[in-house]
Amino acid sequence: MPASDPSEEQAIASLRPTRLAEAVGQPAIVEGLGIAITAARRRGEPLDHVLFHGPPGLGKTTFAHIIAVEMGVPITHTSGPALEKPADLVGILSNLERGEVLFIDEIHRLPHAVEEYLYSAMEDFRVDFVAGTGAGAKTILYPLEHFTLVGATTRAGLLSAPLRDRFGLIYHLDYYSEEELTVLVTRSAAILGVRMEEDAAREIARRSRGTARIANRLLRRVRDYAEVRAGSRVTREVADAALTREGVDTLGLDQMDRLYLSTILDHYDGGPVGLEALAATLNEDASILVDVVEPYLLKSGFVLRSPAGRRASEQARAHLGRTGQSHQPRLL
């Protein structure tokens, strides 16, 4: 396999905005962070701890890096599953500089024993060690530099109340509008040097499921197709052909989305069907369905979720051409 082009890797990495002024969409978050960062810099203090939650691909990691750049501090990146024992966390905390950003992705997956060490670290900027055993045991207080913890999660409901309450700034990231994604695709195309018509940018945006990460991924696939089949110029027709070839339909549903919906319609008479039964039928992990597949389908009205299970909507039937099917609701 040929080596990756360093300039291409640099171009892809540069698609992420690095300053608040460059961020597209999420206006409430941009404004709120701007005020908090400006106030913290004027006081000469580290920024308060920040929690971002929402579906994947909406910019949680990007905002963490923007915070570090705007505050003029380094950033240390880790994830909840990577911190398996308290020593892993303490080793990172003890090496943080004043004001440094510690970004923990998937923070809801922190082991409970590790999470407990975060409480005093976030609130009192110290960790407590227990040295010795029995009657001779004693607690050693290890002071930490004042740092900023930025947590990101797709499952805010799984965070414990003590951890959630220690964040001073909590933001929910929502899906982007078609107009916002059009601006984002146009910006990314300019960075990548892609010649793109406005209608093509809007077509990519319309089929990006309201997600910035998907918009940038689809843009790169359209660029590849245009280089090989269309003389490197991206028109709406070229974008449509490229995305159709990728299995992304006019509403942004991919092959997994359509399989999910057709399984409910064909195997379970439109539902309701329980999550575990649906995951077993699809041979897919239930957490993937909950975190990746379902959020956009729920928001778009293709799937209805109730205590009885998942049910495909009439909109889903129409989109998949199943309007002529007779169906009876099932209770599992």
Tokens representing 258 are: 């359509």
> Is residue 1 in a domain?
no
**What are the C-alpha distances in Å from 194 to residues 15, 156, 222, 236?**
13, 37, 10, 14
| Beta carbons of 78 and 100 less than 8 angstroms apart | no
Instruction: Give residue 332's pLDDT.
Output: 41
Query: Does residue 78 sit in the same domain as residue 94?
Result: yes
Strand partners, 152: 52
% of the chain with per-residue pLDDT over 90: 71
Query: Does residue 13 sit in the same domain as residue 113?
Result: yes
Please write down the HEC assignment for all residues of the chain: CCCCCHHHHHHHHCCCCCCHHHCCCCHHHHHHHHHHHHHHHHHCCCCCCEEEECCCCCCHHHHHHHHHHHHCCCEEEEEHHHCCCHHHHHHHHCCCCCCCEEEEECHHHCCHHHHHHHHHHHHCCEEEEEECCHHHCEEEEEECCCCEEEEEECCHHHCCHHHHCCCCEEEECCCCCHHHHHHHHHHHHHHHCCEECHHHHHHHHHCCCCCHHHHHHHHHHHHHHHHHHCCCEECHHHHHHHHHHCCCCCCCCCHHHHHHHHHHHHHCCCCCECHHHHHHHHCCCHHHHHHHHHHHHHHCCCEEEECCEEEECHHHHHHCCCCCCCCCCCCC
- pLDDT, mean of residues 233-246: 94
| Beta carbons of 50 and 150 less than 8 angstroms apart | yes
Kindly report the average pLDDT of the chain as a whole number. 89
Instruction: Give residue 331's pLDDT.
Output: 42
Catalytic residue among 60, 206, 311, 317: 60
% of the chain with per-residue pLDDT over 70: 90
> Is residue 282 in a domain?
yes
Measured CA to CA, the distance from residue 240 to residue 123 in angstroms comes to 52
Query: Does residue 65 sit in the same domain as residue 158?
Result: yes
Catalytic residue among 109, 164, 195, 213: 213
Catalytic residue among 16, 62, 105, 240: 105
Query: Does residue 158 sit in the same domain as residue 275?
Result: no
Query: Does residue 16 sit in the same domain as residue 150?
Result: yes
Tokens representing 185 are: 């695709």
Query: Does residue 34 sit in the same domain as residue 167?
Result: yes
Query: Does residue 71 sit in the same domain as residue 158?
Result: yes
CATH number at residue 212: 1.10.8.60
Query: Does residue 285 sit in the same domain as residue 142?
Result: no
CATH number at residue 315: 1.10.10.10
Tokens 């998937």, residue located: 106
Q: List, for residues 103-114, the tens digit of each pLDDT value.
A: 999 999 999 989
pTM score, two decimals? 0.85
Instruction: Give residue 1's pLDDT.
Output: 38
Catalytic residue among 16, 61, 209, 310: 61
> Is residue 275 in a domain?
yes
> Is residue 232 in a domain?
yes
| Beta carbons of 150 and 103 less than 8 angstroms apart | yes
213 given a catalytic annotation: yes
Instruction: Give residue 21's pLDDT.
Output: 93
* Residue 330 confidence (pLDDT) above 60: no
Q: List, for residues 22-34, the tens digit of each pLDDT value.
A: 999 999 999 999 9
CA atoms within 13 A on the CB side of 201: 18
Query: Does residue 186 sit in the same domain as residue 308?
Result: no
| Beta carbons of 313 and 304 less than 8 angstroms apart | yes
Amino acid at 136: G
> Is residue 198 in a domain?
yes
| Beta carbons of 95 and 67 less than 8 angstroms apart | no
CATH number at residue 164: 3.40.50.300
Among residues 6, 52, 25, the alpha carbon closest in space to that of 211 is found at 25
209 given a catalytic annotation: no
Enclosing domain of residue 289: 255-319
Of 245, 265, 294, the residue at which a domain comes to its end is: 245
Of 245, 268, 283, the residue at which a domain comes to its end is: 245
> Is residue 165 in a domain?
yes
* Residue 8 confidence (pLDDT) above 60: no
Of 154, 172, 190, the residue at which a domain comes to its end is: 172
Among residues 168, 156, 238, 164, the alpha carbon closest in space to that of 196 is found at 238
211 given a catalytic annotation: no
> Is residue 327 in a domain?
no
| Beta carbons of 144 and 126 less than 8 angstroms apart | yes
CA 189 to chain centroid: 21
Q: List, for residues 164-174, the tens digit of each pLDDT value.
A: 999 999 999 99
Q: List, for residues 196-210, the tens digit of each pLDDT value.
A: 999 999 999 999 999
Query: Does residue 99 sit in the same domain as residue 187?
Result: no
- pLDDT, mean of residues 185-200: 92
> Is residue 326 in a domain?
no
Query: Does residue 239 sit in the same domain as residue 145?
Result: no
Query: Does residue 163 sit in the same domain as residue 70?
Result: yes
Question: Number of folded domains in the chain?
Answer: 3
Instruction: Give residue 149's pLDDT.
Output: 97
Catalytic residue among 62, 148, 154, 182: 154
Q: Both ends of the chain: CA-CA distance in Å?
A: 50
